[in-house]
Amino acid sequence: MNWITKFIKPKIKSLFNKKSSKTEDNLWTTCECKNLIYKEDLQSNFNCCPKCGSHHKLSCVERFKTFFDNKEFEILETPLPKDDPLKFKDNKSYSDRLKKARSITSQDDAVLIAKGKVQNIDIIVGAQDFRFIGGSFGAASGEAFIAGVQHAIENNIPFVFFSCSGGQRMMESSIALMQMSRTTLAVNELKKKNIPYIVVLTNPTTGGVTASWAMLGDILIAEPKATIGFAGRRVIQDTVRETLPNEFQTAEYVQEHGGIDLVIERKFLSSTIGTLLNVLLKKEETQAKKDSSNVSVDQSLQSAS
């Protein structure tokens, strides 16, 4: 190592590093449309690109802020099972991956559950953070989901979930797969109690998540251009040996083929879901009134006879 490498190069390097990281971290970001976007413009536009409309991913807290009335919500505590029960290791240990994901997201796991109001309706909302090992769904996510359902049932209020996941968590193997049936059973409990359950599929929603709770909503909504599917596009293409259309597995394609009900821009999600819940809850109220009036008619008929 000569004196140039030792003394001058690191200094020059650090000078450039500092400058570029400062610019990148604080002011600017990029988009798939390859435009440079002022971060503040992106944030004030619900994290959607002001130039191409692309919906950028949100953390759970950012999601709650875009959705709840006046950005007010309370994060509910959910059970956290024991870490890494299978002592899984690939090129990195699962416990190291968990540590890293926790430091990036400041969350215990990928799912957060919150309570708040939308158009003045009390509601429980769940969201997934894709930065937490691809939003993968393992035991902790399952526990959080079920706790959310329990809160909704105990308080008789709607449950809305924003999916954003690559599927079940590989590092938890069959424990992660079990969550598919557990969450399905939990959703059934909501349905038995006539509690509205709405899912918003955001980019991406794939694998076991699509094959369980994410497609069981009373109303299925997706954000524009979100990837929605079970198996990956290449796997399907190689299996069916046909060229698939470019828009295959996009929210719009899935809606066109009857897989989901609506594709709604992020800025309209809160108002649309609020309106839908108003309709659903009023309908339930009417149904309850109808039932009680039927009971009183039956009673009066019985007393008359």
Contact call for residue 12 and Zn ion (CB under 5 A): no
Contact call for residue 48 and Zn ion (CB under 5 A): no
Contact call for residue 203 and Zn ion (CB under 5 A): no
Q: In angstroms, what is the minimal distance from the CB of 31 to Zn ion?
A: 3
- Given the rule CB under 5 A, which of 2-10, 25-33, 181-189, 215-223 is the region that contacts Zn ion? 25-33
In angstroms, the CA 132 to CA 103 distance is 10
Report the DSSP pairing between strands 197-205 and 36-38: unpaired
H or E element that contains 124:
strand 121-128
Q: In angstroms, what is the minimal distance from the CB of 38 to Zn ion?
A: 12
Interface pick for Zn ion out of 47, 54, 136, 183 (rule CB under 5 A): 54
Q: Closer CB to Zn ion, residue 66 or residue 95?
A: 66
Q: Mind giving me the DSSP string for 222-282? A: E-TT-BB-SS-HHHHHHHHTSPPPTTTTBHHHHHHTTS-SEE--HHHHHHHHHHHHHHHHH
Q: Give the phi and the psi of residue 293 in degrees, each rounded to 5.
A: -70, -35
Contact call for residue 36 and Zn ion (CB under 5 A): no
- Given the rule CB under 5 A, which of 10-18, 54-62, 141-149, 184-192 is the region that contacts Zn ion? 54-62
Contact call for residue 42 and Zn ion (CB under 5 A): no
| 220 beta partners | 199
Contact, 269 vs 67, CB < 8 A? yes
Report the DSSP pairing between strands 73-76 and 159-165: unpaired
Contact call for residue 33 and Zn ion (CB under 5 A): yes
Contact call for residue 31 and Zn ion (CB under 5 A): yes
Contact call for residue 165 and Zn ion (CB under 5 A): no
Q: In angstroms, what is the minimal distance from the CB of 30 to Zn ion?
A: 8
Q: In angstroms, what is the minimal distance from the CB of 251 to Zn ion?
A: 17
Contact call for residue 27 and Zn ion (CB under 5 A): no
Q: In angstroms, what is the minimal distance from the CB of 111 to Zn ion?
A: 28
Q: In angstroms, what is the minimal distance from the CB of 49 to Zn ion?
A: 3
In angstroms, the CA 204 to CA 254 distance is 13
Number of residues in contact with Zn ion, rule: CB under 5 A?
A: 6
Its sign, for the CA torsion 186, 121, 266, 50, is negative
**Binding site residues, Zn ion, CB under 5 A:** 31, 33, 49, 51-52, 54
